[in-house]
A = this chain, B = another copy of it.
Amino acid sequence: MTGRTPTVSLAILNTMAAADFAQHLGNIYEHAPWVATAVAAARPFPTVATLDEALRAAVRHVSPADRLALIRGHPDLAGRAARANALTADSTGEQAGAGLDRLSETEFAAFHRLNDAYRAKFGFPFIICVRRYTKDSILASFEKRLANTQEAELATALEEIDRIAALRLDAVVSGEGRLRLTGRLSTHVLDTHSGRPAAGIAIELRELSASGAHRLVASAVTNAGGRTEAPLIADRPVPIGRYELTFAVGDYFARSGVRVADPPFLGIVPIRFAVAEAEAHYHVPLLITPWSYTTYRGS
């Protein structure tokens, strides 16, 4: 996925030549331009969502052997092709987004082992919509799915392919009825010592990793309303995984002139939480005094 601005409108897609249509959407399904070709004659599509449904139906309509070929057309995650820069542009961007292009040797070895074990058991590569996961939750899912049956993994692979396609479609096509497979992660800091929003609090969001190498995802400073100017994550799925938000509460009260202990009881307040639904809104507010705090999943 190369950017956020859709490159073509549904209206134009609906009226262009079939060959052009197929070319515009040729990468929605990895190495399978035939999926787009198959639905060209069904135009016009009233919404992006109906176009998406038609593409899914086309995949379900072909023979099991053709579907298996589609599945097999996907690259390994963090595999040799990725290292050799032999992925499609979309796959490269998606894998990089989850940090799969910056693995330690240990992590690379883990992926290598899992890829081989998975292929050996199922005869096709492990497919997961990486934009919906963190590096850690991909590994966790990988280990878990390795225990599934062939039938279950075939079904799961197709569901994941549909999710990948839907996100690519949303990235490419503008117009009515967009899918917007997006979640949101936001916060809000209330100063219950003074009864007002806490302005000027430095916030950092990190993706947690079992390896201890936490990755900074976003940083922001609260505005006069105690909120960040933009959500910490928006307009994309919130990757399933574990996170830590930190709030520089000690600095805030020091600036406010509140008499606190030395060192202050609360300095950096960390909140650790997990995201389980990539398309949900996670609002994680903080109510704070120099001596107490409350956090919760808000709305």
Binding site for B on A (CB under 8 A): 137, 190, 192-197, 225-226, 240-242, 261-270, 272-274, 276-277, 287, 289-299
User: Out of B193, B226, B264, B290, which one reaches A299, CB within 8 Å?
Assistant: B226
Q: Are A195 and B272 in contact (CB under 8 A)?
A: no
Question: Which residues of B are found within 8 Å of A261, using beta-carbon distances?
Answer: 195, 274, 276-277
Least CB separation from A283: chain B residue = B190
Q: CA of A269 to CA of B195 in the docked complex: distance in angstroms? A: 16
Q: A197: which B residues are within 8 A, CB to CB?
A: 299
Known: A190-B296, A289-B289, A292-B287. A195 touches B276 (CB 8 A): no
Q: How far is the CA of A97 from the CA of B4 in the complex (A)?
A: 53
Q: Which residues of B contact A195 (CB under 8 A)?
A: 261, 265, 289-292, 296-297
Please list the 8 inter-chain residue pairs (A to B) with the smallest Cβ-Cβ separation, ordered nearest first. Answer: A195-B291, A292-B296, A261-B276, A192-B292, A263-B274, A294-B294, A291-B297, A195-B297
Alpha-carbon gap, A242 to B299, bound state (A): 28
Query: In the bound complex, how far is the Cα of B197 from the Cα of A289, in angstroms?
Result: 15
Query: A9: shortest Cβ distance to chain B, in Å?
Result: 32
Tell me how far the C-beta of A106 lies from the nearest C-beta in chain B, rounded to whole angstroms: 19
Residues in B with CB closer than 8 Å to A193 are 193, 289, 291
Minimum CB–CB distance for A197 against chain B, Å: 5
Instruction: For the complex, give the distance between the alpha carbons of A193 and B296 in Å.
Output: 10
CB distance from A186 to the nearest CB of B (A): 14
Q: Let me know if A272 and B274 touch, CB within 8 A.
A: no
Evaluate contact between A287 and B276: CB separation under 8 angstroms. Answer: no
- CB < 8 Å neighbour of A297 from B240, B265, B273, B298: B265
- A222 and B26 CA atoms in complex are apart in Å by 47
Query: Which of B196, B242, B292, B298 sits near A295, CB closer than 8 Å?
Result: B292
Tell me whether B263 and A267 are in contact (CB under 8 A): no
- Decide if B269 touches A242 in the complex (CB within 8 Å): no
List chain B residues, Cβ under 8 A from A269. 272
- B294 and A287 contacting across the interface, CB-CB below 8 Å: yes
Specify which of A241, A290, A293, A297 lies most central, judged by the most chain B CB atoms within 10 Å of its CB: A297
A267–B261 Cα distance when bound, in Å, is 28
* CB pair A293 B291 closer than 8 Å: no
